[in-house]
Chains A and B, each alone.
Chain A
Amino acid sequence: MSVVSTDSRVFKLARTESAGRTGRWAVVAGRLALRAALGLLLPLALFLLWRHAVARQWVPEQILPGPDLVWQSIKDLWDSGELLDHLAISAKRVGWSLVIGTGAGLVLGFGMGLSRTVRAYVAPTFDVVSQFPVLGWIPILMIFVGIDEALKISAISIAVVVPVAVNAQKGIANIPRALFEVGRVYGFTGAQVVRRVVLPAAAPSLFTGVRQAVMQAWLTLVFVELLASSEGIGYLMVWGRQLAQLDLVVVGMLVIGVVGVVLDLALRLVEARLQRWRVAAF
């Protein structure tokens, strides 16, 4: 219970205060090590269970590939360069869609946030359409733009536009009127208002929007690649499935997970940096 642990933590801290600097460092390091160990406990247990299940054939081997096979496949794919190729293609798709989608989303969001007229005309439609699941668009997109890159990029862009626009709009709506007053007092032009008032103030919301957009982008990418593709990580998984090489499916999942983690961390870092600047600026 948090109550108890809070108490004991306070107690521990009091103890370490008196232990001196080196002592304190040792305690901190030790605690970090303990945290890492605890965090790894579950994955380790699952890994052992996996190995055991495969060795004892609890699940037919065609359905659950063993860790050695998966590791071997990762090495093979890495060596042959195929892994990076597929990843690059998937990444390119997400990259382009992020550019297009974020651009469109910012335009929409800023438009709706800053101009009451725009909001009146556009917001109701946007409100409804943005709540359509992206998946619903895909069969139609398939007919209109085919099954090639255009499909992937348009589908992912749609998935990106929504969180960016929504959060941009929210961010602007939350800007205190006072800041706009300040802009008016200083005689800012429209562009200056945007650059020096709106952007910094709405930045945290924008960031949330971008983070959500990245997650949606990846989600949609995997879906589209599973549905119709000839290269990419999702395709790798489909290929593995068709040839009963489920280790490829696992490899695909691992790669997607790793990329997801890396992206999330990177975005958080950038966000933290920007926050610091923002706080300092005010």
Chain B
Amino acid sequence: MKRRTFTALLGAAPALALNPLRAFGAEEKPAVIRIGFPNAGTGGRPLGGGSFPHNAHHLRAIDEEFKADGIRVEWKFFPGAGPALNESLANGLVDFGFGHGDLPLIVGRSTGLKHKVLMSSGRGGDQYFVVPSASPAKALADLKGKRIATFKGTAGQLTLYRFFDKFNVNEKDYRIISLDNDSTLAALATGDIDGTVRLPFDVEARGVGRRIHEILDDWYITRPGTVWASEAFEQRYPHIVQRVVNRLVKVAYWSTQDANRERQYQLWSTSGTPYVDYKKGWERTKDLRNRMNPHLDEYYVTSITKSIEEAKKYKLIRRDVSLDGWLEPKYLQAALKEQKLEDYWPQQDGSGNFKVAGRKV
């Protein structure tokens, strides 16, 4: 009672102060919308890249949307990644999650966090395994007993496990150290770790590391991110949620235009991740719609389900997670309908095959 009420009061006070009309039954509006990203730029700076929700931040799309209503938008970046975003939600300090990785999302739900999945924040891409440039290793198997870095609790951990799966090695044969992004780069440079999953372009350019594995266009190794709204917010302000979703879809549409590709690389590289990583990392993607796809299609559902299984298998969650009542696609459907984009994006089946192609452009 104490803390929840206190935090709720703290959140409600400005709302009450700014919206005396509330008492008279006028349409409810929050005073502030708090959007959280489960990541931060290098050094913890509040910038990010690589997805259309990040574009929404760069373009200040959401701020623009609600300026006339006098609603402020707070953008929060968490260097502690997915787990930190979970904590923030648990404390009632955030209303939307823009691009949560599957593992922390699942962990959060298993501990009782209440959110509603609104759309997918992106998918696909290629995965690489990098080792320090001086390392003689040629394959994962060569690194048995050595130190591998991953940020535990984030989607990256599951990616690493799937790497182990794919190359038929056992995770118990490795010393897995938990390091965040910046520390991993430093450790790679000094040779303090023997390998990690990471985009290789910048580290190769700098002579710090080299790739020993590439997994291209694999829809099992890569999993979609998620955009969610907290259940509390969604129940109280469904119309606000709809407007946020509408805007996001607009931004997603903008992001998939090839003409805007270069601009996105520029915006994204302000986060500290080097330009070359984005450019090279996205140049194989001819059709941007394949990676910036908001649909909650069969692929999304199957992928999340598989991740839940794995989380259970590796004892990363202690309670089961069910999808019942979790996905809430109605907002996305309404937005797509309104903007006449229902057939714009492709849809994929459980294995990632393109069931329905995107509209011809």
Do A and B touch directly, given a CB cutoff of 8 Å in the complex? yes
Interface of chain B: mostly helix, strand, loop or mixed: mixed
Residue-wise interface mask of A (40-57) relative to B, using a CB-CB cutoff of 8 A (1 in contact, 0 not): 000000000000010011
Say whether A61 contacts B177, CB under 8 Å: no
A241 near B177: Cβ-Cβ < 8 Å: no
Give the contacting residue for A242; candidates B1, B83, B111, B176; CB below 8 A. Answer: B83
A146 and B192 within 8 A (CB):
yes
Contact of B111 among A58, A59, A62 (CB under 8 A): A62
Interface members, chain A 226-246 (any B CB < 8 Å):
228-230, 235, 238-239, 241-245
**Would you call B83 and A60 a contact (CB within 8 A)?**
no
Q: A148-B192, A230-B176, A238-B178 are in contact. Are A244 and B187 (CB under 8 A)?
A: no
Q: Is the CB of B90 within 8 A of A243?
A: no
Is there an interface contact between B86 and A147, defined as CB atoms closer than 8 Å?
no
Partner pick for A228 among B4, B86, B177, CB 8 A cutoff: B177
Partner of B318, one of A53, A230, A245: A245
Q: Judge whether A60 and B4 touch: CB under 8 Å.
A: yes
Docked-complex contact B318 and A63, CB < 8 angstroms: no
Q: Nearest CB to that of B148 among chain A residues?
A: A230
CA distance A243 to B81 in the complex (A): 12
Q: Are A62 and B87 in contact (CB under 8 A)?
A: yes
**Bound-state Cα–Cα, A241 to B154, Å:** 12
Point out the residues of chain A lying under 8 angstroms from B141, CB to CB: none
User: Are B107 and A59 neighbours in the complex by a CB distance under 8 Å?
Assistant: no
**CB <8 Å contact, B4 and A59:** yes
Measured CB to CB, the closest approach of chain B to A236, in angstroms, equals 12
Report how far A228 CA is from B175 CA in the complex, Å: 13
- Contact string against A for B residues 131-148, beta-carbon threshold 8 Å, 1 for contact and 0 otherwise: 000000000000000010
The number of chain B residues with a CB under 8 A from chain A is 35
Question: What 1/0 mask marks residues of chain B from 175 to 203 whose CB sits below 8 Å from any chain A CB?
Answer: 11111000100110011110000000000
Complex interface: chain A residues within 8 A of B91 (CB):
60, 63
Residue interface bits B67-87, CB-to-A below 8 A is 1, else 0: 000000000000000010011
- Chain A residues whose CB sits within 8 angstroms of the CB of B186 once the complex forms: 142-143
Assess whether B240 is interfacial by the CB under 8 Å rule: no
Report whether B2 and A230 are in contact in the complex, using a CB–CB cutoff of 8 Å: no
Scoring B residues 263 to 279 as 1 if CB is less than 8 Å from chain A, else 0, what string do you get?
A: 00000000000000000
**CB of B102 to closest CB in A, whole Å:** 14
Instruction: Chain A residues near B316: list those with CB within 8 A.
Output: 243
Is B43 an interface position by the 8 A CB rule? no
Query: A146: nearest residue on chain B (CB-CB)?
Result: B192
Task: Indicate whether B3 reaches chain A with its CB closer than 8 angstroms.
Answer: yes
* Chain B neighbourhood of A244, CB < 8 A: 83, 86-87, 90, 107-108, 110-111, 153
B interface footprint on A110-150 (CB within 8 Å = 1, 0 otherwise): 00000000000000000000000000000000110011100
Q: In the complex, A57→B114 CA distance in Å?
A: 15
Nearest B-chain residue to A231, judged by Cβ: B175
Q: Say whether B169 faces chain A, with CB atoms less than 8 Å apart.
A: no
State in angstroms the CA–CA spacing of A60 and B108 once bound together.
12
CB distance from B184 to the nearest CB of A (A): 10
A239 near B178: Cβ-Cβ < 8 Å: yes
Given contacts A58-B4, A62-B113, contact A230 B175 (CB under 8 A): yes
Q: What are 19 A-B contacts with C-beta separation under 8 Å?
A: A53-B2, A57-B1, A59-B4, A60-B90, A60-B112, A61-B112, A62-B113, A63-B87, A143-B190, A147-B187, A147-B192, A148-B192, A230-B147, A239-B152, A239-B178, A241-B153, A243-B107, A244-B90, A245-B318
Q: Which residues of chain A have a CB within 8 Å of any CB of chain B?
A: 53, 56-63, 142-143, 146-148, 228-230, 235, 238-239, 241-245
Chain B residues in contact with chain A, CB under 8 A? Answer: 1-4, 83, 86-87, 90-92, 107-108, 110-113, 147, 152-154, 175-179, 183, 186-187, 190-193, 316-318
